[in-house]
Amino acid sequence: MKTLILYATRHGSTAEAARRIAAYFPDCDVKDIARDTYDIAAYDCILIGSNIRMGTFDRRVRKLLLRDIAALREKRLGFFVCCCFTENAPTYFQNNVPPQLLEVAAATAALGGELDRKKLHGWDKYVANMVLKADHSRGILHTFALQNKAIADFAKKMQSAGE
Ligand SMILES: Cc1cc2nc3c(=O)[nH]c(=O)nc-3n(C[C@H](O)[C@H](O)[C@H](O)COP(=O)(O)O)c2cc1C
């Protein structure tokens, strides 16, 4: 089974998640949607990953999904997101993935995320500070990270989907 992992990242965590997923697939290419070229027709299984900002998938992923609905429906298809509030993931998938693709997806998964204020600037830093301050005032001290168990579960679900 030839697998393509296609991802969009702003600050690197979705790229890192894609690399960790790839370790479970022997015949697999990992491509950055912003930089690399790819041919969907050359693969049996396609895993598409996006970062989440303000509840929204990366616009490059949304564009790809709308453009290639017919081709993607023919594949073993999975979606993953990197985000800090994984409990909201069902809403993120519902609001960003066309229903014709969501209904045929073998798996969807939220793999955690990272929010390192030292890496953020401008508007991103402002939003991150607001979120963390609001949590802090409610006595919640958050640290965010990619979740290896969620990554393993997602990879296994995709592998077993064709059995
Ligand atoms: C401006 C901004 C908005 C964000 N909005 C959300 C959000 O709505 N929901 C969420 O769960 N995480 C949100 N996050 C957290 C990101 O999804 C998380 O940092 C993720 O790991 C980013 O992926 P990337 O490193 O591949 O860009 C936001 C982060 C930033 C900087």
- Model confidence at 146, in pLDDT bands (50, 70, 90)? very high
Buried b (16+ CB within 10 A) or exposed e, 26-38: eebbbeebeeeeb
Q: What number of CA atoms fall less than 13 Å from residue 35's CA on the CB side?
A: 8
- Please tell me the residue having the least CA distance from ligand 1 atom 14: 53
* Ligand 1 center to 156 CA (angstroms): 25
Q: What percent of the chain has pLDDT over 90?
A: 79
Question: What per-residue confidence (pLDDT) applies to 141?
Answer: 65
| pTM (2 d.p.) | 0.95
CATH says 3-115+144-160 is which class?
alpha beta
Pocket of ligand 1 (CB under 6 A): 9-14, 51-55, 82-85, 88, 113-115, 120, 124, 127-128
SS (H, E, C) the chain: CCEEEEEECCCCHHHHHHHHHHCCCCCEEEEECCCCCCCHHHCCEEEEEEEEECCEECHHHHHHHHHCHHHHHCCEEEEEEECCCHHHHHHHHHHHCCHHHHCCCCEEEECECCCCHHHCCHHHHHHHHHHHHHHHHCCCCCCCCECHHHHHHHHHHHHHCCC
Question: What per-residue confidence (pLDDT) applies to 140?
Answer: 66
Atom index in ligand 1 nearest the CA of residue 115 equals 19
* Ligand 1 center to 85 CA (angstroms): 9
Q: What percent of the chain has pLDDT over 70?
A: 98
* Ligand 1 center to 84 CA (angstroms): 6
Tens-place pLDDT, residues 36-84: 999 999 999 999 999 999 999 999 999 999 999 999 999 999 999 999 9
